[in-house]
Amino acid sequence: MSNSSRDVAVALRYDGAGAPRVTAKGEGHIAEQIAKLARANDIPMYADPDLARLLSSVELGAQIPRALYVAVAEVIAFAYRVSGRASAMQR
């Protein structure tokens, strides 16, 4: 993520039930703080500015819209792969 004030960060939570939910979102300094917290907690980050912009319109705590299921599924699969959860889920 660059230091541009146009940067957007969105945090999602997916517990396997229902659709993922937006748990944090912000632009500029807030986006930087979200990214900093993610790094500090070893939470995988996925850069897709267009998807982040779309997700930033979702209310905090709300499930993502159906139209974004496939795109967000790719993000979740990426997070599972880089965190090592994918191999554990395949067992």
Predicted local confidence at residue 83, as pLDDT: 85
For residue 3, how far is the Cα from the chain centroid? 19
Give the chain's largest Cα–Cα span. 43
Give per-residue pLDDT as tens, 21-54: 999 999 999 999 999 999 999 999 999 999 999 9
Contact 22/11 with Cβ under 8 angstroms? yes
- 91 pLDDT above the threshold of 50: no
Q: What pTM was computed for the model?
A: 0.81
What CATH number matches the domain at 8-90, 3.30.70.3270, 3.40.50.300, 3.40.1690.10, 3.20.20.150?
3.40.1690.10
Instruction: Give the residue from 12, 35, 7 showing the smallest Cα distance to 24.
Output: 12
Contact 3/35 with Cβ under 8 angstroms? no
Instruction: Spell out the domain ranges in the chain.
Output: 8-90
